[in-house]
């Protein structure tokens, strides 16, 4: 019976990371979708929009990396 609980515990971590990756995935889609929309509406601001878009992308991806590392940090607790 303990082997079954250990197998479930490992899968819970994988499921938790999968759920944690949904938010940043949606965020990246929104960032790039709205960025392309803004570039199409105001082509003269492409440099500024692209810079802001990359900054948003980096910050959003940091959430995915935190979601990847957090289970390993809290597993020993």
pLDDT average per 10 residues of sequence, the chain (77 residues):
55 72 88 96 96 94 83 70
At 4 the pLDDT is 57
Residue among 4, 7, 1, 55 at smallest CA distance from 27: 55
| pTM of the complete model beyond 0.75 | no
At 7 the pLDDT is 54
- Looking at residue 42, the DSSP 8-state letter turns out to be -
């Amino acid at each position: 019976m303990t082997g079954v609980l250990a197998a479930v515990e490992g899968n819970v971590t994988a499921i938790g990371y999968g759920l944690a990756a949904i938010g940043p995935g949606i965020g990246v889609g929104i960032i790039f979708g709205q960025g392309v929309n803004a570039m199409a509406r105001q082509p003269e601001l492409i440099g500024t929009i692209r810079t802001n878009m990359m900054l948003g992308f980096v910050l959003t991806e940091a959430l995915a990396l935190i979601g990847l590392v957090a289970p390993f940090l809290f597993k020993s607790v």
